[in-house]
Amino acid sequence: MRILFVGDIVGSPGRQIVNDRLADIVSQRQIDLVIANGENAASGFGITPRLADELLGMGIDVLTGGNHSWTARKFWTTCRTSHACCALATFLKAPLDLARSSAPQRTGVKYAVLNLQGRVFLTPIDDPFAKPTPNSPNFPLTWPSSGRYPRRNHSEKIAMGWYLDGRVTAVVGTHTHVTTADERILPQGTAYITDVGMTGPHGGVIGMDREGIIKRFLDGTPARFEVAAGDVANETAC
């Protein structure tokens, strides 16, 4: 079974490159299952039900998210009703079945996706380590999403990888938008990467226009963040 994970889709440039390239990648690589993080698909922050439908119509089988997913509150309803959109298992003690997405797909093989959000430097939520317990089903796929400060929340993701080694097919980190070079197969057979990166404009700062972000670092004044333009690229894990 060949699985493709599309890194965080940022704004309209990210959606456009998915629309332009996904079908060819799926065909050329003979992909069986496509999973993508869509939490930044709406102008760089959040996702709406309409955009979720749009991305699923491009050939994505499952959409995962993170802390930005709830910017558009209507998306919560979509998570509750759609098997193709994963709610965060760690959000407000959501029941585990809200975070699963299992159905026959291109090969007829069933799959399961568990979407977790870390707690390092993020709003307090339920413990991500408490969800996949030793007595839980062996989820073929697990992607924890964590927060902002790379070294510390990278340790949280790495710990999750070791914790789930041998119990899931893959642990793929998202959210930080910067691809890490630590992809590997752990001793018990689980594939792992701390951050798969992003799909969108790489000419800015993690997908956003660099001028506003630089100004904020220089003088600390609020600045409106806009999705960047140019150097659009897709980052994926297979």
For the sheet with 3-6, list strands across it.
62-64, 33-37, 3-6, 236-237
In a 3-state reduction of DSSP, which class is residue 5? strand
Cα–Cα distance between 22 and 15 in angstroms, integer? 10
C-alpha triplet 37, 42, 50: angle, nearest 5°? 90
Q: Residues 64, 145: contact at Cβ < 8 Å?
A: yes
Residue of 68, 175, 177, 202 marked active site? 68
- Give the side-chain half-sphere CA count within 13 A for 76: 9
Residue 206, judged by CB atoms within 10 A of its CB (0-12, 13-18, 19+), counts as buried
Separation between Cα atoms, residue 187 and residue 166, nearest integer Å: 8
Angle of helix 49-57 versus helix 11-29 axis, rounded to 10 = 30
| CA-derived radius of gyration, the chain | 17
- Tokens 């089988």 sit at which residue? 61
Mark whether 83 is an active-site residue. Answer: no
**Residues with active-site annotation:** 68
